Each structure stands twice: as structure tokens, then as C-alpha cells.
């Protein structure tokens, strides 16, 4: 997301503003897990309505509401809530169009992020291994993604049959 913070995929809606000396995230709905990329790579769980703010090198602040001055900088369209406009779409049935699965190249920046950010990616993106191109690209760059070895080659980590039965026949 930015050099300072990353929001992990989850069940939430967030408004984010990033500038050279500012990282601000407001959770509009659901919850968001945020990873501070500097230092100890701390993880913070933010609930709906909470706001995260880090300015320069100062310590980050988590507040129950966003700072009013920062909200003024958000475009008006992002300040409107969906609920107030939901009636406009009440009787419209729009079927979503499925997108193709992401390629390795599209995910490479995430897959190459620091370990605190990519820790859950092998589990989350494992279904993409069915795509031959994704599997081949990941296998070719396994040194950059050591956490994927167990997912790509589970047979290397499987216990031999004799060890599983305790060596008895």
C-alpha cells in the first residue's frame, strides 16, 4: 500500500491517504489489519470507525474517530456513505463479471514484501497454483518466496509411510 503501512486483505472498507510524511487510514466498515512496515512491523487491528495516523517519525496514533482536518482533505464522493445512496440501486440486478485470476507479475510486489506482510499469502493464494503460469513463475523465484516451498512441493515435507505407522508392519 505504501512504504510506511500495508493493509492486509480482509473484510473491511478503508479510506487511505499517503504522503511522504503522512500515513492515514480510516476504517469505514468492517475491520482492517494494518502492518506498520518500519521497525518491528507491528500489526494493528482496526474496527469500523477507527482511524490510524502517523506523521513523520512520530509514534502512530489510533483514534476512535478520524481527525476532522484530515477528513476535509478527502474528496466529497468518498465522504458520502453508500447507505444514503442505496435506494438508487434497490431494484437493479447487476451480475458481476468474473475477472481472470491474477498473474504472478500482478502479485509480485506483494509476494516479495517483507515477511510480516506476506506471512499469510501462501495459504491465501494457494488456489492460484492451479494456473500453470503462476506455479512456474513462483517455482522459478522460490528463493524470494521460501514460504511457498511447502505449498509447491508438499511431498518433500510428507513423512515417509514407515514413520507414519511407527515402523510397524
pLDDT tier, 162 (very low <50, low <70, confident <90, very high otherwise): low
- Give me the chain's average pLDDT, please: 84
Q: What is the pLDDT of residues 70-98, one digit of tens each?
A: 777 777 776 666 666 778 888 888 888 99
User: How does pLDDT run across 4-57, given as a tens digit for each residue?
Assistant: 788 887 788 888 888 888 888 888 889 998 888 776 568 888 899 899 988 887
Q: Measure the CA–CA gap between 66 and 59, rounded to whole angstroms.
A: 16
pLDDT band at 153, cuts 50/70/90?
very high
Query: Is the pTM of the predicted complex or chain greater than 0.75?
Result: no
Determine contact, residues 152/139, Cβ cutoff 8 Å: yes
Per-residue confidence (pLDDT) for residue 143, from 0 to 100: 92
Residue 118 is predicted with a pLDDT of 87
Q: Do the beta carbons of residue 138 and residue 151 sit within 8 Å?
A: no
- Choose among 14, 12, 81: nearest CA to 51: 14
The C-alpha cell of 26 is what?
480510516
Tell me: pLDDT of 139 over 70: yes
Amino acid at each position: 500500500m505504501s512504504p510506511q503501512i500495508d493493509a492486509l486483505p480482509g473484510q473491511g472498507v478503508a479510506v487511505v491517504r499517503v504522503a511522504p510524511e503522512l500515513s492515514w487510514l480510516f476504517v469505514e466498515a468492517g475491520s482492517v489489519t494494518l502492518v506498520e512496515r518500519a521497525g518491528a512491523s507491528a500489526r494493528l487491528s482496526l474496527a469500523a470507525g477507527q482511524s490510524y495516523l502517523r506523521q513523520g517519525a512520530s509514534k502512530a496514533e489510533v483514534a476512535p474517530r478520524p481527525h476532522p482536518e484530515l477528513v476535509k482533505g478527502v474528496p466529497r464522493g468518498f465522504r458520502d456513505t453508500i447507505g444514503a445512496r442505496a435506494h438508487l440501486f434497490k431494484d437493479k440486478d447487476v451480475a458481476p463479471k468474473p475477472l481472470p485470476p491474477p498473474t504472478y507479475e500482478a502479485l509480485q510486489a506483494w509476494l516479495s514484501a517483507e515477511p510480516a506482510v506476506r506471512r499469510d499469502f501462501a495459504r491465501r493464494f494457494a488456489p492460484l497454483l492451479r494456473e500453470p503460469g503462476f506455479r512456474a513463475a513462483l517455482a522459478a523465484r522460490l528463493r524470494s518466496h521460501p514460504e511457498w516451498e511447502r505449498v509447491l512441493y508438499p511431498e518433500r515435507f510428507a513423512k515417509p509411510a514407515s514413520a507414519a505407522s511407527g515402523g510397524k508392519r
